[in-house]
Amino acid sequence: MMKVHPSSKKRTNHRSQNAIVSSNPNPNNTKKLWRLPHVFASVLELPLHSDDDVSIDETTQFLRFVASCKCRGSSSCRVSAEAVEIVPGITKIVIKGMDGGDCFAEQCYGFRFRLPPWTRPEMATAVCSGGKLVVMVPMTKTRGN
């Protein structure tokens, strides 16, 4: 769930065709805002609160995220990492429970991490064992777009 700023109460808001939002319909107005400045191409969304501790390790092959996992009833639960394409070109990795989703049903998805462009979110994996959630996101061999 992404944070959305409340819309303006002014009736003069309009959208121009080049994806710019202007608060004044005057075309000579120099104050313009680009839409969606907070959206990035790839985002990892963990079922944790935004203030929880998450260890992030970066190697040449992958990014590894380790956090404490509160699974009910057992020391390990089955989870999976799914790459969801929100709109063309924007992907987020969501961690879901494989056994009906009861592991993280009451959690608020608040921890987000912007992934660099050289990561491969479609190949992300997640494991929850021993009270630790480990998410691994592979990277391409070359860093670049």
pLDDT score of 70? 72
Nearest alpha-carbon partner for 95 in 130, 61, 132: 132
Q: Is residue 22 part of a domain?
A: no
Long-range contacts of 36-39, Cβ-Cβ distance < 8 Å, separation of 24 or more: 38/2, 38/3, 39/90
Q: What is the CATH number of the domain that holds 132?
A: 2.60.40
pLDDT one digit per residue (tens) for the chain, 145 residues: 555 555 555 554 444 444 444 445 555 555 554 555 456 788 998 888 878 889 999 999 999 999 987 765 555 678 899 999 988 888 999 988 865 554 454 455 578 889 988 899 999 999 988 889 999 999 987 665 5
Instruction: Indicate the number of domains in the chain.
Output: 1
Question: If you search the block for the tokens 């929880």, which residue do you land on?
Answer: 52
Rounded-to-integer distance, Cα 136 and Cα 46, Å: 12
Provide the residue range defining the domain that includes 57.
42-138
